[in-house]
Structure 1
């Protein structure tokens, strides 16, 4: 099955994969606000979940993600996650009371972390169900904060990245590793986290742990995403950057469109 999910409905890679699914005759569906993806889904008569939320795509993640959950449940591919979503929302609301703009930095973990990251290179570690969350943290630092960042996945990083932690020293001294952990991580992953942290400390690499909150994996995922949305926003303020525009991406899309026209 192919589900095309694109905020604008015009994402090149999504349209390509969706079109390939249609050509092969597999089950297809689309989640989008409109664009070419919606038009194609309507033209082909396949299920279309359409929503209307004016924002940057990254700010509409709540819509895209929960609609995908609902669609997959309706298709019989996932259980009903309504209770988990409700719990996650409650956890995020409670955490927001601690990290919102009105809370001073001395009592605000998100502002404090942003302050520690200013002028440094964040490298985000995630494992299992939090691996994609680590990727989200990386992209939020890029897009919101206009800041270089990278992510690594455990246990894979234990097979390579840990060997190169100390060199070059000039980079090591500017890196902060952010370890996204959960009490629901697999027991062996918990051991790997502890050993990996020891290796980081041994090599003189600054490392911080951020724990997910809640009773479900979904709550841990969404609460960590929510926390980082604030961290990346505060880091943008420290960088003197406007979180909204992504001029480099607009430039890239324009050049890709021009290149496509030239090839045609």
Structure 2
């Protein structure tokens, strides 16, 4: 079962990256803190209560095509989010990175056809100032309603990706 194996597969890959020095290995204290913060965020996003931001966001996406835009550092999370929406809700969703989408896709987002689309923007602290400026400009110029900005919280890129 690929879905149920996510934790094992992800953990194995992460351990390999730490062992090879591809990613810096956090201390036990940092890992415990990260897991606590992620558990809190997860419990606050429980859809079973049909309330809160996650439920409101979900309701606003009904009947719309969904675009997910992110800075490159969060691109993997945006892509996975789009795949989950495509597969589990039979919704058309696509992910793209800033700044690349500002060269090509921005025309579609500023046209009248954008009214049938919803836009989700993944953002976080520590993104490049030019990328942040592009996000701010895009949010002022686009026609898509609803538009959601999801601030991916965390003390590290790993935590921000898991938060997303």
The answer as to 2:61 corresponding to 1:122 is no
Q: 1:119/1:166 Cα in 2 relative to 1: closer, same or farther (>3 Å)?
A: same
Q: Which of 53, 57, 62 is the matching residue for 2:7?
A: 62
Can you list the C-alpha shifts for 1:147-168, whole angstroms capped at 9, x where unaligned?
111111100011111123244x
Match of 2:35 in 1: 89
Higher relative contact order (CA 8 A, sep 6+): 2
Task: With the length of structure 1 as denominator, give the TM-score of the two structures.
Answer: 0.56
Q: Paired residue for 1:150?
A: 94
SS at match of 1:183: coil
Rounded to whole Å, the distance in 1 between the matches of 2:155 and 2:21 is 24
- Helix, strand or coil: the match of 1:111? helix
* 2:139 is aligned with 1:210: no
Select the residue among 156, 160, 170 that pairs with 2:104.
Answer: 160
What are the Cα deviations for residues 3-49 of structure 1, in whole angstroms up to 9, with x where unaligned?
Answer: xxxxxxxxxxxxxxxxxxxxxxxxxxxxxxxxxxxxxxxxxxxxxxx
- Structure showing greater radius of gyration is 1
Unaligned runs of 5+ in 2: none
Quote the residue 1:8 is aligned against.
none
Partners of 1:97 and 1:78 in 2: CA distance: 28
Q: What are the Cα deviations for residues 233-262 of structure 1, in whole angstroms up to 9, with x where unaligned?
A: xxxxxxxxxxxxxxxxxxxxxxxxxxxxxx
Q: Does 1:133 align with 2:92?
A: no
Distance 2:134 2:32 in 1: 31
TM-score, normalization: structure 2? 0.88
Give, in whole Å, the separation in 1 of the partners of 2:32 and 2:17. 18
Q: Is the 8 A contact 2:110 2:141 kept in 1?
A: no
Number of aligned positions between the proteins: 162
Mark the runs of 5 or more structure 1 residues left unpaired by the alignment: 1-54, 225-264
* 1:188 corresponds to which of 121, 130, 135: 130
